[in-house]
Amino acid sequence: GQNIDQPTEMTATEGAIVQINCTYQTSGFNGLFWYQQHAGEAPTFLSYNVLDGLEEKGRFSSFLSRSKGYSYLLLKELQMKDSASYLCAVRDSWGKLQFGAGTQVVVTP
């Protein structure tokens, strides 16, 4: 079966760092995507990992360990606008995305 787990909510202070973990068990693996979604809006693409290791993109970094079925998204120098839901999605053997329920990040002043 398919299972993608993320924490439901995380709270952090402006300027701090937050790490959002994602564990997965899926039918095949062909890459992992992270999306950001503000309430009532479309998800927007943040990062993609297919090989083990860290991908860095400005304030956002994403890490993947395929052997552990584990990824994390690291948000540095948090800003108020980073308050949003962060979705972990795994592309399966057939090319479809399986999404986690999302992690709501709340940034406080």
Q: Pick from 18, 24, 72, 102: which binds another protein (CB under 8 A)? A: 102
Q: Pick from 7, 19, 23, 31: which binds another protein (CB under 8 A)? A: 31
Tokens of 15: 């300027």
Query: Counting contacts by CB under 8 A, is residue 48 touching another protein?
Result: yes
Query: Counting contacts by CB under 8 A, is residue 44 touching another protein?
Result: yes
- Which residue's entry shows tokens 């992690």? 103
> CA 3 to CA 22: how far, in whole Å?
10
CB-based burial, 18-37: b 16+ in 10 Å, e otherwise: bebebbbebeebeebbbbbe
Tokens of 88: 């972990």
Q: Pick from 19, 23, 83, 99: which binds another protein (CB under 8 A)? A: 99
First-to-last alpha carbon distance for the chain, in angstroms, is: 41
> How many residues at the interface with another protein, by CB under 8 A?
26
Q: What is the CA radius of gyration of the chain?
A: 13
Query: Counting contacts by CB under 8 A, is residue 41 touching another protein?
Result: yes
Query: Counting contacts by CB under 8 A, is residue 63 touching another protein?
Result: no
Give contact residues for another protein (rule: CB under 8 A).
4, 8, 30-31, 33, 35, 40-45, 48, 50, 87, 89, 91, 93-97, 99-102
